[in-house]
Amino acid sequence: MLKKIGIPVLLIAVILISACASLKKNTSELDHKSIETTMQKVFNWQIANPVVGNAKNHDDWARGVFYAGIIRAYETTKDKNYFNEAVRWSESLNYKLAERYRHADDHTRGQTYLGIYAVTKNPKAILDTKSVYDSLISNPKPGREEWWWCDALFMSPPVLVRLAEATGNQKYNEFMSKMWWDTTDFLFDQDENLFYRDKSFFQRRSPNGKKIFWSRGNGWVLGGLVQVLEHLPKEDPNYKRFEDLYLKMAKKIAGIQQEDGLWRPNLADPAEYTNKETSGSAFYVFALTWGINHGYLSKKEYLPIILKGWRGLNAQVTPEGKLTWVQKIGSKPEAVKSEDNQEYGSGAFLMAGAELLKLK
């Protein structure tokens, strides 16, 4: 019987069987129930184990990112547990931004407020946020002065684009774009397609003589960038520039993923710190998955990278739901310990999971 079939037919059969096995594996990894279960575990553990210090003003953004992930998880799953927790937290803050009204970190809460407003249409949810930005727009400073560190591109721009969407006033998008591109012209390395954390890194090099591009810093940028693309009107004169920046960064990030599916603290020199790091990695899984879902990236090319990243992230979640290997609050690549956890890491994880749930 085998002789009659012949080698070419057998070869085709083997290829088809292999392809079916690969498809089955990918489908199982994208099983919605397992993704939602892991997300819920991470959410529940982090709620039960708040990081001491994140309620203070200058670390408030760290908790704000967690709740930005929570509201995004709700938007995808419609699980009221997420929404109710986001509302509880927001109401405890009276829907106000944090104290430093010119500092982008203190705008981060607004991502959750705008997400709640999209559901409730309660004007109180965005009243303070609108007031703060109206003040900034009336007395603007250049992006490279106000948003002088790349993290700012996650903290403030997503709030502005959603505020423009909520109010119908394009002045918030105009302000955001002007600030974004001045910061980008200042911090973006055109040769590497990555952002320096701030100007102090322009000439600095790792002990191995390589440039220093902080993983979470570039994760902040991509995490903010995809939200800008999501809410900015496509007819906006700057939309194409945002698209081009996203494609450049996505290609770069995809090419420097490590064997365990994660990215190292210094993207340009993985050997500087060889430990795992999950916060930057979670933002990359989120942003790359978003690219497939919105038609920017090839599913054939990028899905294996995303799945590898998701496997790598899940391997760092304990049975109780603690996301480990999260680099602590800082401003540069550093060593990370297995027990390290932070709320923004869990927020990024929820964003990644929520976007994976949309994959078809």
Q: What is the pLDDT of residues 101-119, one digit of tens each?
A: 999 999 999 999 999 999 9
Query: Is residue 23 in some structural domain?
Result: no
Element (H, E) at 195: strand 194-195
In tens, the pLDDT along 204-218 reads: 999 999 999 999 999
- Cβ contact 227:177 at 8 Å: no
In a domain, 37, yes or no: no
Looking at the structure of the chain, the number of domains it has is: 1
Which of left, alpha, beta for 28 (phi over 0: left; psi -120 to 50: alpha)?
alpha
Please report whether residue 243 resides in a domain: yes
Question: In CATH, what number is assigned to the domain containing residue 291?
Answer: 1.50.10.10
Nearest to 99 by CA among 66, 126, 60, 68: 60
Range of the domain at 268: 55-356
- 166 lies in some domain: yes
Do the domain assignments include residue 125?
yes
**pTM for the full model?**
0.93
Residue type, 192: E
Name the nearest CA neighbour of 83 among 67, 65, 107, 64. 67
The rounded distance, in Å, linking the Cα atoms of 353 and 32 is: 9
Amino acid at 191: D
Q: How many whole angstroms separate alpha carbon 104 and alpha carbon 220? A: 12
Q: Output the pLDDT for position 7.
A: 46
Contact 247/216 with Cβ under 8 angstroms?
no
**Which residues are known catalytic residues?**
151
Within the chain, which residues score under 50 in pLDDT?
1-7, 9, 12-24
272-297 b/e (C-beta count within 10 Å ≥ 16 → b) = bbeebbbbbbbbbbbbbbbbbbeebb
Is 21 a domain residue? Answer: no
**Nearest 10 degrees: Cα torsion 244, 111, 185, 248:** -30
pLDDT reported for residue 30: 84
